């Protein structure tokens, strides 16, 4: 996939090199699998391959950044300060979107929102957002119970797969007695209220 320059001046290869510097090798491999999976879903569902590739390559850019620098960005960008109470888990999406704009010059709202929302989903999600949300969940390296059902649903409907992830994530967090970020609940409520 060769980038056209529509979304960023960076080449795909230069982005890969910069992303690789931000994380351990195993996570970089995850990023590459999310990209491959995103491109496959983009082809199936008619999304922009270039936009989905970019969102995937940058989605976990901030995941291993230190909590202090992430908190600084959350506060300076007037993001929901409540997300600082969940380690990197909730912050790395919104902070990743910030870097996508600042470092790579991405201005496309759908790409930035996809990165921002990739962990918890969104009350409203674009096609690109759904592609990344699902690809991150079902890439071939994922082995959790239920991933096969998620992969099956992704063949049928992105919305069904997204709803599945939203529901299973809540169940998983409750079972593990982990605190649930209010935004995670908001997204769940929004999706369940729209479900037929």
Contact pick of 182, 189, 192, 194 for Fe ion (by CB under 5 A): 182
CB closer to Fe ion out of 50 and 60: 60
Please state the closest distance from residue 27 (CB atom) to ligand GDP, in A: 8
| Residue 36 near which of ligand GDP, Fe ion, none (CB within 5-8 Å, type-dependent) | none
How open is the CA angle 53-56-58, to the nearest 5 degrees?
110
Q: How many residues bind Fe ion (CB under 5 A)?
A: 3
| Residue 182 near which of ligand GDP, Fe ion, none (CB within 5-8 Å, type-dependent) | Fe ion
| Residue 169 near which of ligand GDP, Fe ion, none (CB within 5-8 Å, type-dependent) | ligand GDP
Write out the E strands in 31-141.
none
Give, as ranges, the residues between 125 and 184 that touch ligand GDP (CB under 6 A). 136, 169, 172-173, 178-181, 184
CB closer to Fe ion out of 60 and 113: 60
Cβ–Cβ < 8 Å for 118, 183: no
CA distance 10 to 7: 9
The C-alpha torsion from 147 through 28 and 134 to 176, rounded to 10°, is 50
Site string for Fe ion, 41-70 (x = CB under 5 A): -------------------x----------
CA distance 22 to 42: 26
CA distance 111 to 56: 9
Core vs surface per residue 79-90: b (16+ CB within 10 A) or e: beeebbebebbb
Q: Does 136 bind Fe ion (CB under 5 A)?
A: yes
| Residue 38 near which of ligand GDP, Fe ion, none (CB within 5-8 Å, type-dependent) | none
DSSP secondary-structure letter at 181? P
Q: How many residues bind ligand GDP (CB under 6 A)?
A: 17
Cβ–Cβ < 8 Å for 146, 168: yes
Catalog residues that contact ligand GDP under the rule CB under 6 A.
30, 60, 63, 86, 89, 118-120, 136, 169, 172-173, 178-181, 184
């Amino acid at each position: 996939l060769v980038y056209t320059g529509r979304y960023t001046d960076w080449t795909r290869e230069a982005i890969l090199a910069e992303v690789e510097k931000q994380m351990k090798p195993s996570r970089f491999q995850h990023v590459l699998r999310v990209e491959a999976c995103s491109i496959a879903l983009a082809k199936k569902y008619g999304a922009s391959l270039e936009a989905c590739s970019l969102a995937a390559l940058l989605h976990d850019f901030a995941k291993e950044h230190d909590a202090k620098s992430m908190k600084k960005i959350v506060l300076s960008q007037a993001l929901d300060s409540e997300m600082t109470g969940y380690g990197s888990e909730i912050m790395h999406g919104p902070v990743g979107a910030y870097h996508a704009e600042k470092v790579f010059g991405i201005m496309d709202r759908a790409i930035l929102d996809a990165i921002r929302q990739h962990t918890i989903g969104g009350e409203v999600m674009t096609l690109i957002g759904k592609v990344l949300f699902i690809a991150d969940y079902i890439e071939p390296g994922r082995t959790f119970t239920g991933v096969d059902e998620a992969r099956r649903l992704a063949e049928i409907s992105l919305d069904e797969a997204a709803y599945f992830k939203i529901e299973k994530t809540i169940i998983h967090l409750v079972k593990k007695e982990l605190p649930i970020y209010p935004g995670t609940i908001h997204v769940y409520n929004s999706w369940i209220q729209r479900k037929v």
